[in-house]
Chains A and B, each alone.
Chain A
Amino acid sequence: MSAVRPPIAAAAQPRAGVHPMKALMAVLRRDLLLAMRRKAEVLTALFFFLIVSSLFPLGIGPEPALLRKIGPGVLWVGALLATMLGLQRMFYSDHLDGTLEQMVLSSAPLPLLVTGKVIAHWLVSGLPVVVLAPVLGLQFDLDAGALWILTLGLLIGTPVLSLIGAVGAALTLGVRGGGALLSLLVLPLYIPTLIFGAGAVQAHLSGQGAAGHLSLLGALLALALFFVPWATTAALRISLE
């Protein structure tokens, strides 16, 4: 260890405020990097989705009409549960090792950092579900149009799941047995997303067109995007006290 010298960054760096997007990207990059280093956690959620939605056609047997009817619902419930799996970890590990405190105290606005974490959660647990869904939909004898609507619905709907989940994860942070509580808290809040998401495919199959349902999903996403970062921030501050 050498003698004390002046700090490195201080001299070079003007003390300008944090560029907010930079902090968001830093969180996003770090969380994705962590997910890459712990692939098992990511793959668990994905395989869970794969297996749960494959069990239904196997259990029910080859009845195309029935499978077509339950398909969208089953896939959506599978997506919902797969999202839930990774939720608890969203803030928990950061809380345990103290990095969450550092984030709260950093000069970047906390809602933005939270947004970064939610995006990372979606990329890791939501996006793979969206990509996998059309393949799994084939098991339920869904036609190309229905598969397209299903995928589109999931693309709009899974970010809502990650967003709503973030509030729950922040609220149950530091609560003993938080996992079960988190499910009880979050799953009821997922109901509107589930109804409009699965409903979109049903509507398409019955020839009504899915535009209405998808618009409502979009509205849910806009609402969640607007409110969730602030709600999560408030919840985190309470949990950290």
Chain B
Amino acid sequence: MPRKCRPGPRVKQNPGMLSAHGLTCVRGTRPLFSGLDFAVGPGSWAHVRGPNGAGKTSLLRILAGLAQPEEGEVRWNGEKVGSEDFRRELMYLGHRAAVKEDLTALENLEFSASMDGVDLTREQAEDALARFGLAGREDLPVRFLSAGQKRRVLLAQTVARPAQLWILDEPFTALDVKAVDFLSNLVAEHVRSGGIAVMTSHQAIPLAPGQVVEL
């Protein structure tokens, strides 16, 4: 029997669909990829693979609407990406830390949530951080945390605010085995409840096989 979407909080009334049509990306004069077509629907995920410099990050930035492709377009539910509705459904975590070193983990999380209209109570924010193993370090400025812990502060967003489309650029970088496990379970849960995930990773991702986009 096919796995059915579990009625969870993440299931949307009209689940979205991310599709790329004839994407071409050029860096300087060098074409990175051209004529790239793929689509990811609710309840599935895509693994973007390729050697260093193949354009994985460029592709994810294009998918998120941060950069424009040379040719082609990305659509979310048939509309070009970048609209406010799209951004409300999007969680993009790039390979940069995207946390403020001088703010505490808690302040960082609360800020990023409030950017998206989610008011976290202190308990909720602490809970989210605790799930990523940061209990007891909530009030420490992030600059005192290790690279992996900074990464976790960023990743805590995934449980702190709802979004249907997750675009994660090398999410497992700097994470220890336990955290990798936790995060992949989280992504699996997200996908199972009707979400979409697009990820790059050089490691094998411990998830049920998804669609592979080879660059």
Interface, chain A (partner B; CB < 8 A): 1-13, 15-19, 22-23, 26-27, 30, 33-34, 37-38, 97-99, 101-109, 113, 240-241
Contact = CB atoms under 8 A, between A and B. Distances in A.
Given A30-B107, A97-B99, A109-B84, A241 B67 contact: yes
B94 A16 contact: no
B72 interface: no
Nearest to A26: B114
18 contacts: A1-B182, A4-B186, A6-B8, A9-B113, A13-B162, A16-B117, A18-B115, A18-B116, A18-B117, A27-B115, A30-B103, A37-B102, A101-B66, A105-B64, A105-B66, A107-B88, A108-B116, A241-B68
Contact of A15 (B120, B162, B179): B162
Contacts of B117: 13, 16-19, 22-23, 107-108
Interface in B90-140: 90, 92, 94, 96-103, 107, 111-120, 124, 127-128, 130-133
Given A97-B98, A102-B112, 9 more contacts: A3-B185, A4-B185, A9-B162, A11-B9, A13-B162, A19-B117, A26-B114, A107-B117, A109-B84
Nearest to B13: A15
Interface residues of B, number: 54
Interface in B176-203: 178-179, 182, 185-186, 188-189, 193
Nearest to A240: B66
B160 interface: yes
Contact of B107 (A5, A33, A102): A33
Contacts of B115: 18, 23, 26-27, 102-103, 106-108, 113
B103 A10 contact: no
A11 B193 CA distance: 13
Most B CB contacts (10 A, CB to CB) among A8, A11, A23, A240 go to A8
A74 B47 CA distance: 60
B9 A7 contact: yes
Contacts, number: 134
B120 A9 contact: yes
Nearest to B6: A6
Contacts of B17: none
B75 interface: no
A105 to B, nearest CB: 5
A108 B182 CA distance: 30
Nearest to B67: A241
Nearest to A8: B124
B87 A105 contact: yes
A76 B159 CA distance: 50
A1 B152 CA distance: 11
A3 B42 CA distance: 23
Contacts of B189: 4, 6
Contacts of B124: 8-9, 12
B10 interface: yes
A30 to B, nearest CB: 5
A178 B107 CA distance: 30
A38 to B, nearest CB: 6
Contact of A98 (B94, B102, B179): B94
A26 B159 CA distance: 20
B161 interface: yes
Nearest to A19: B117
Contacts of A5: 131, 159
B22 interface: no
Given A1-B132, A101-B92, A101-B94, A9 B84 contact: no
Contacts of A19: 117
Given A8-B124, A9-B120, A10-B10, A102 B98 contact: yes
B18 to A, nearest CB: 14
B98 A8 contact: no
Contacts of B15: none
Contacts of A97: 96-101
Nearest to B189: A4
B97 A1 contact: no
A82 B118 CA distance: 37
B103 A37 contact: yes
